[in-house]
Amino acid sequence: MGRIVIVAYKPKQDKESELVELVKSHLFTLRAEGLVSDRDSILMRSTDGSVIEVFEWASKEAIEAAHNNPEVQKMWLEFSKICDFIPVSQVSESTSMFSEFTPLN
């Protein structure tokens, strides 16, 4: 059974456009490694510039396998150079009853 996750990425200074491009390719890398479902991701931007991604891992085991996958590790290293992973609760829109974001895909 798949596992839906919501991830928030806070771009480092002057790295927002690089982050958007990397997030747009994120799912392709995970899919090539057989770690995610065929479901499309949802990408959005918050008012503070954070990028939020909603996607589906293929299974709980796939999540665990990602932590030992060289391609995924390489991609996560690229993420770490241009953003910080933050809890979704730190995105200001998360406090609203109906959170609104700018779509990126």
Segment-wise mean pLDDT, segments of 10 residues, the chain, 105 residues: 94 96 94 96 96 96 95 96 96 93 95
Q: Measure the CA–CA gap between 29 and 44, rounded to whole angstroms.
A: 19
Q: Residue 1: what pLDDT?
A: 81
Q: Measure the CA–CA gap between 37 and 81, rounded to whole angstroms.
A: 27
- Report the candidate in 88, 62, 66 with the shortest Cα–Cα distance to residue 75: 66
Domain boundaries, position 30: 3-103
Q: Measure the CA–CA gap between 104 and 41, rounded to whole angstroms.
A: 10
- The CATH number linked to 46 is 3.30.70.100
* Total domains, the chain: 1
Q: Measure the CA–CA gap between 28 and 12, rounded to whole angstroms.
A: 23
